[in-house]
Amino acid sequence: MVEAPIRPTDYTAARKAMIDSQLRTSGVTADWAVARMGSVPRENYVPASAKGVAYVDRAIPLGDGKFLAAPLFHGMMLQEAAPKPGDAAIVVDGGSGYLPELLKPLVASLRVLTPEEALVSARGGKKADLLLVDGAIEHVPASLAKRLADSGRLVTGLCVNGVTRLATGRKAGQDIALLPLAEIGIPRLPQFDTPKAWSF
């Protein structure tokens, strides 16, 4: 008896279901954003044991504090960022590498930083027109703000009192004022927690 060859799992249907049931129903409808979400295989950014749940509507832990955020967060973030072909972009990666892959063909240049690298003051180099943070932060540290050009755009998750939202901002002077948008579950990046003040 000849055994049938083992074929790799086809995730095309799962990817389409993600677009139709998670993204479009929540307002992610820009053709270019949907096309990117449909062309990058999320299953390639998780451990083998998690490939079967790569398209569910929740974050997937990757170990060592890293994660792949839920599809809706990435879809909303990408659409809100509205990357331009001439943009110099930076992504602070949550550990999966998925968001940089989504963004890469949409911008002129892309630099990927770990959260730890983002906390180190930048020394020279071209400043970013667009900065994406793949996770929820409590505040924007000066080391990160300095990497953004004047009038540069920031799209991130924002954590306030334990509630996470998608947020966007634009740099003016040395400051970036964040505008909270949709409330959505986003993994927190503890490296960007607000320093706790001493109290007596």
In total, the chain counts a number of residues equal to 200
**Integer angstrom CA distances of residue 164 from 46, 116, 120, 181, 200:** 23, 21, 25, 10, 29
Q: Using CA atoms, how far apart are residues 62 and 48, in angstroms rounded to an integer? A: 11
98-125 pLDDT tens trace: 999 999 999 999 999 999 999 998 777 7
The answer to whether 62 and 54 have CB atoms below 8 angstroms apart is no
With cut-offs at 50, 70 and 90, classify the pLDDT of residue 127: very high
Among candidate residues 77, 87, 98, the one with its CA nearest the CA of residue 156: 77
- Write out the two tokens for 96: 């999966």
Q: Using CA atoms, how far apart are residues 72 and 103, in angstroms rounded to an integer? A: 15
Mean pLDDT for 67-90 is: 97
- Which residues, in sequence order, are CB contacts of 136 under 8 Å at separation 6+? 156, 157, 158, 159, 164, 186, 187, 188, 189
**Residues 148, 58, 80, 159, CA torsion sign:** negative
Q: Give all domains of the chain, ordered by start, each with its CATH number.
A: 12-192 (3.40.50.150)
160-197 pLDDT tens trace: 999 999 999 999 887 888 999 999 999 999 999 987 76
pLDDT for position 199: 52
